[in-house]
A = this chain, B = another copy of it.
Amino acid sequence: MNETDFTLTKGKRIMKIAIDAFGGDNAPDEVVKGAVDAVKEYGVDIVLTGDTKKLDECFERLGLSKDHITFEQADGVIEIEDNPKMILKEKKNCSMGVAMQMVADGRADAMISAGSTAALVMGGTLIVKRIKGVKRPSLTPVMPGLNNMYILLDGGANVDCRPDMLRQFAVMGSVYMNKIMGVDNPKVGLLNVGAEEEKGRELEQETYALLKNSTLNFTGNVEARNAALGEVDVVVTDGFTGNIYLKTVEGMGKFMKASLKKIFFRNLGTKIGAMFTMKGIKEISKQMDYRETGGSPLLGTAKPVLKAHGSSDALAFKNAVRQAKDFVERNVIAEMEKVLSENTEG
């Protein structure tokens, strides 16, 4: 399996990860801090894309070392409000676009951005390009189950999907879950309104048939209430439904946090109660924290592309680098190509 060897050779690090230094709410400071931490911890080279003058100032201001970190000049940032197509033309030299171009040119092995999701999907698809045969790439958030982590495809890259796209999502998700998350024979579930085979829309009914005949460990339909507890490892759905699901989970997380706050700050007794339970509450919060898992891979691109959360801090960026490193080192894309080719017609 080790076609490429990315391990450290005496003083020379041969894996390079490009990070859009100006994407996200906390750029560039948190990106820079995360990059510096990742270099130390994971032994990779990092190239930061963006206004190199500003980056120089940032390193100086923060008093950080540029060891194993280089800059690549880029002009401006693609904003969330921008038409994502601008990454292909007017804004192709923005910090996200340059990072993508470096990956496309083979000058970097993977890229990370906390910038516009829509632009990342557009650029991932058309600049980094897709794995041969992949119809659409899928945004793939890593989600907290009750006793496990699971992934969701598609988290929102494609609002309209066909059954063969969902089958590809299932394959890519299954490989990712196995190679990166270390789950043997991941359970794949089709998000649906009931457990029975005939449930759902035409999309679910046709996808069910495809997955039943696939080489995957397809466990049938999964209802949203069981998906949320982590019943399966890979939850497959179209990008519209996936995005609604993902944001409902996020919303309910906020809901619970706000509710607990109300309870705890009610009176002295509850404040004392809060003190006793705070450690556990914090652990749950940590478990539900996107910063711990890194970013959401855009699965289906020919090279690893990772979407970091818009409000990522240094820890989130560092973890995204680890995720990108694993992605490259473990030859996830080669494995996806193999399993995709085993699951084409039917």
Contact = CB atoms under 8 A, between A and B. Distances in A.
Nearest to A226: B251
Nearest to A276: B273
A245 B200 CA distance: 14
A193 B146 contact: no
A193 B273 contact: no
B243 A245 contact: no
A61 interface: no
Nearest to A238: B201
A135 to B, nearest CB: 17
B280 A266 contact: yes
Contacts of A239: 193
A281 interface: yes
A263 B280 contact: yes
Contacts of A225: 247-248, 250-251, 254
Contacts of A266: 280
A240 B193 contact: yes
A162 to B, nearest CB: 13
B240 A227 contact: no
A280 B262 contact: yes
A43 B175 CA distance: 62
A160 interface: yes
A223 B240 CA distance: 11
A159 B280 contact: no
A275 interface: yes
A284 B259 CA distance: 7
Nearest to A262: B280
Interface in A275-294: 275-277, 280-281, 283-284
A274 interface: yes
Given A193-B156, A228-B251, A251-B224, A263 B277 contact: yes
Interface string A230-264: 00000001011101111111111111101100111
Given A224-B251, A228-B251, A229-B251, A272 B276 contact: yes
Contacts of A243: 193, 224
A63 interface: no
A101 B326 CA distance: 63
A134 B57 CA distance: 64
Contacts of A280: 262-264, 266, 270
Contact of A229 (B156, B254, B275, B276): B254
Interface in A282-314: 283-284
B245 A223 contact: no
A-B CB proximity, top 6 nearest: A273-B276, A228-B251, A263-B280, A225-B251, A252-B252, A224-B247
Given A228-B252, A229-B258, A274-B276, 10 more contacts: A193-B239, A224-B247, A224-B248, A241-B241, A244-B245, A249-B252, A252-B252, A263-B283, A264-B277, A270-B280
